[in-house]
Structure 1
Amino acid sequence: MPSPSNSKSKLQWIYDVFINFRGEDTRENFVSHLYSALSNAGVNTFLDDDKLEKGQDLRAELLQAIEGSQICIVVFSPKYIESSWCLDELVKIMECHTFRGQVVFPIFCRVNPGFLRDLQDISFEEYYKENEIDSMRVRLWKKALTQAANLAGWDVRKCSSESYVLKEIVGEVLKKLDRTYLSITEFPVGLESRVQKRSRLWAYEEALTVLKEQSGTKAIEGLALKLQGTNKAFFNSKTFEKMKRLRLLQLDHVQVVGDYEYLPKHLRWVCWQGFHLNYVPNSFSQENVVAIDLKHSNLKIVWKESQLLERLKFLNLSHSKYLTKSPDFSKLPNLEKLILKDCPNLSEVHQSIGDLSNLLVINLKDCTSLANLPLVIYKLKSLKALIISGCSKINKLEENIVQLESLTTLFADNSGVKQVPFSIIRSKKIGYISLCGYEGLACDVFPSLIWSWMSPTTGLMPYTQQFGSMSSSIVSMDIHENNLTGLLSNLGELSRLRGIWVQCDSKFQLTPELRRILDDFCNAKFIELESTSYLQQFSENTMGSELINLGSNKEVIKTLNENINEELKTSDSNDFFLPGDNYPYWLAYISGGHSIRFQVPEDSDCSIQGMTLCVIYSSTPQSMVAECLSSVFIINYTKCTIGIYKQDTIKSFNDEDWQGVKSNLGPAEDVEIFLAFGHGLTVIMTAVYLIYGESITMRMEPPIMEEMESSPKVNVQQSPNVNFEQSRKPMKNIITKFIKKLGECIR
């Protein structure tokens, strides 16, 4: 993370100060006085009713203003936390504080700072619960409030007068903006110019004098001259000839004419906003450069002939409206961050990007002419953040996005991407997603993303039919060439169904109407259920159960198998609870997280008789799996089918249900099983064991499987000694549910 001092030197601020406040409380008094005091001191201050352009998107304008402000002043008042608008702004402010080095000053106006630091007040939770505010959004607000309240600021209640507070605030702002004015005596002595001895020229007048008079010396190591876009200046390249030790160069809207070989050879950081040439001359030596920032340039191409820049780690060409293609990356082997934001004519990203083994960030936001991503991008093992928001011509993300094994952040909102890739839910490290209308932490949006896999083609009529020759408790929906006209009329019937089977020609998305139907059917909104007695749920939903504590004695395995075998003969559904640190160790496929993908073995001698699914999770005593498991999805990638089973169905599985599952487990078929949990527990590991035409008294060694093309996160176990030691936690429970034909972890 960049330090605040480094960030301020790299970023171009639009405003000096942004004021975040609740208008109802403070607009006509404190904030009005604060704004006047800052303006009178020459501080360029953003106030929402003063700077916003008419007809513009209000939210977008405000967020852009926050990003473009060097300092944010947050005025906390009694009704501040009742404004979702204020809180959304605060989340953005604290994000900029963390990642952009933005300075944040909190001011507590008639509120207690301790209240905001603690935030245990019941009214805060109740207010947003009553207004149906998303719980994830509330958590982000509370985190931002706590962070801001812990920063140094002013408590107006403890100050002698408002004018005193305002004077202190303005003074601190000027210090941060480096605008402190010295008190100069009427007859100053000894203030002759000594710039020839200075090593860093950051002040505007000093830098301008040196460049105009060509008085630079070899002592100068850093130089910054920032002009406005309408006030360009021209300097001869020979001006830099004597600056042999120059390492840091920042020029904004400065034009250098002449041979670029006179520019220093040992530059480490080049920030040249508004670079005026159509390409970077080869005579401009950059072999030692670590960061190149050429925002708002006139570049059409970056280099005519690629240079070997082994030390380059950061390349920012954002807002270069004439740039048509990215540079050749083959000679930038150590590049870590590539920022090509808002390059409207960029239509090509060079294939050599796939060779960048250290690349961490790709930002292509608002590159509206870019139609596709090179497939080699999906081979970047180190990539942590991919941003293609606003790329309206990019209409697809490939399934091999799962190969981006380090990816933690994906932004593809407002792009042309309409289909969520199936494989994304198998990404091990993905943390934040903004895609196809879903935004938030992956653990919260993954269940909803699953629904977006299904979407009918418009113009035709949907229909439902019985599953095979069975009763109407399971229906098959063939919607590969249908729309949803009239389907809402069947909602009452669908809500009573035990399962739903979706058949399609390809992987597709679900429209909002059908998503609502399946949400109602599968209870997949993942809201917290009302707490009920665990014992009551156990007695109501379980036909038979047996509690087994294995301890560390492996001799009881035989007894365990006998008990399971006996129970399966006498009842339809059985639960077996293995509390504490016990676990079955004869599982065939193991995967981290809440899904597992595998290929069904080819076995012509015997058919599948059953399947056992196990899950290892951590939870609190208040969170039971029965309260958290919402539904189970069985996805067959070979047949393009999805079987969906809701919570109540899993608890009372029967032969009809099993036949539906079995039909989706054909030999050599590519299958993924997804357990959709709500809030309340963390899934550590999922495992599956297929039972063939033999006794459930399983061999201590799992059968030797043929080599399978399993996903990167699936481990085919050939040894009974599965080591789960690293996953053990004090509150961990391990639960296995065996059903006559399908065993599921449901409690």
Structure 2
Amino acid sequence: MNTQFVVGESSSSSPHLSCDVFLSFRGEDTRKTFTGHLYTQLCQVGVHTFIDDEELRKGDVISIELDKAIEQSRVSIVVLSKNYAFSSWCLDELVKILDCKQMLKQIVLPIFYDVDPSQVRKQTGSFGEALVKHKERSFGAERVEKWKAALTEAANLSGWHLRNVADGHESKFIKSIIKQVLQEVNQTPLDVAHYPIGLDSPIEDILLLMQSGCEHEVRMVGICGVGGIGKTTLAKAIYNRIFLQFGGCCCFLSDIRSKVEELGLVKLQEKLLHHILKTKDFEVDSVAEGVNLIKARLGSKKVLIVLDDVDHRSQLESLTRERSWFGSGSVIIITTRDEHLLYGLTTSEIYRAKLLNDNEAQQLFSCHAFSYFSPPQEYVELTQDIIKYSGGLPLALVTLGSHLQVRSVKEWRYEFKKLKAIPHGDIQKILKISFDGLDVNTQSVFLDIACAFHGCYEAEVIETLNACGFYSESAISTLVQRNLLQRDWPSLVMHHLVQEMGREIVRMESQDPGKRSRLFNPQEAIDVLQGHKGSENVQALVVERRALKGVKLTTKAFQKMINLRVLKIDNLYISGDVELLSKELRWLSWEGCPLKCIPSNFPVEKLVVLNMRESNIQEVGLDFQCCRSLKVLNLSDCKRLRSTPNFRGSRSLETLYLDNCSSLKKIHPSIGNLDSLITLSFSCCKKITDLPSSICQLKSLEFLDISSCSSLQTLPVDFGDMQSLRSLFA
């Protein structure tokens, strides 16, 4: 495994640095002159600088304190004066400094003060004399060779030569040094999080992604996930862990989505170049010019670039399109809500941010609510309720913890009750950003799933929404890529707060529930139905199972809802003329329906899914010639159903559930006409004695369940002719 990336002590910041600059110099030469002036100037501009005194030098080796000071400095300035090499302490410091440059990626800046770099490089003049004297003092050949190598390495570094800068004027010379030092030390760690809980494991996972492959490659890592899951926090923590290894060639472009809207791509290209090149001596006039400048100026540099909150391909195209734009060893980190934008990366270069587990969630919430890792005893139950509501989303835990801080238990209860009805504005705002970036078609599909189809079979949702005129396959794919929807095969599910965000968007459509596009709140649904307040705006009405238990309504309650596409009224008692139901219905779930017969005038012309489980139905009087779009019919657990309907004329039915129909005896021979039928299930129909021979004509049937049909003795003679059959449960 490549080990280029050095792991620091803290998951949320860079390795601890006690000072910005360590000054290495020969005291007798420059303490009271050049080095003294340089130290004063550095302190005046706010650069924390370490300058030793003679008490820290003991014996022939540098002390532990000096060792530690070198290790914990970001920059080491080595003042190479004429007598520098006569000090064994200085030479040991130089060896230590160069070791830290190699191991800890520190910056070393040599100053050639009244000496020529060639004298240092070749150890001639006073440097050669000093090394001869050290040999005579019996320092040992190995130690002297280390000093010689260190002097050669230092002389080959990019530094300052007093004679070549500012015509030898020390004050101007010091100003130029200060300017570069400020550029280096201003590369500071980023503020990550007040309580960096749950970061350690994902940081290690991402570092492993970055360490795969050759260390000289340009590596790209994408961090994706739903809004508020902590992508930016992770990117900052990773940046802090490794930024010192890039010699100041680092840039963290935060909140790109909003910055592009505010400033445009050209300004972001300028910012990237200014940060890494440490100069503002040029302007970018166009995106095309910016691309060429990035390629030309950064192509030989090892850079660390973080693009935070990318939401459009053009942002990547104009800033980091090709790995070849950057020098070997460069690292590009991209955070986005839209995984599709990372299609140029390999699977091993994408990290999908995870929700916090229960223990991490409790710690994060409690830290913000109580400044402790666990809640006081009287708050334990409420804390668990809020953690469950938050679903492990860091944004929600931090926001709600801060919101509830220093409030009483009584206030907590009031606030949580309100929260369940109206999502917190700060959480809603962050999550809604993803929704706002969708096209109208995908927004409609999202709202339908959030309000009506959460947890439903994907295949049925697709069929239904396609019948509504939506391009649902494309929309669902987009929602999954943008982490607004997950596939939990065979169903579609949403994070609780994402679902709440969608429902809040609908709630804000109107103060009058009857004028909203979708109804899902049980109490609001009761008010609308009982008061006949529905309007043509209502497209979906979903009532939780048994929420309206005991409530009796007539079909007149639906008369004004002429655009109703989705209706879920399980266990609701409704009487009256079913013709008053919307002719636009595509999905109807009426489990526990009190009707004894599904009448022939039932509005089924556009219906795709009809779910009548556990109903009182004895007879299905539908004219299947009118059921032109019906693909799914569920009559399971209809205990009084004695025979299947006459399926003559049906052309679209693909799924038929008749499980646990304990009175079912007769299967109408017309079942063999269902040319599109793929799934047929009769499990636990204990009174079925035989299957009609026409069932063998089902040329599309793939799944057949006749398990626990205890009275079934034989199968039709031509049963083996069903060539599409893949699964038989018997």
Q: Normalising to structure 2: TM-score of the pair? A: 0.33
Give the greater-gyration-radius structure (CA). Answer: 2
> Quick check: which one's helix share is greater?
2
> Quick check: which one's strand share is greater?
1
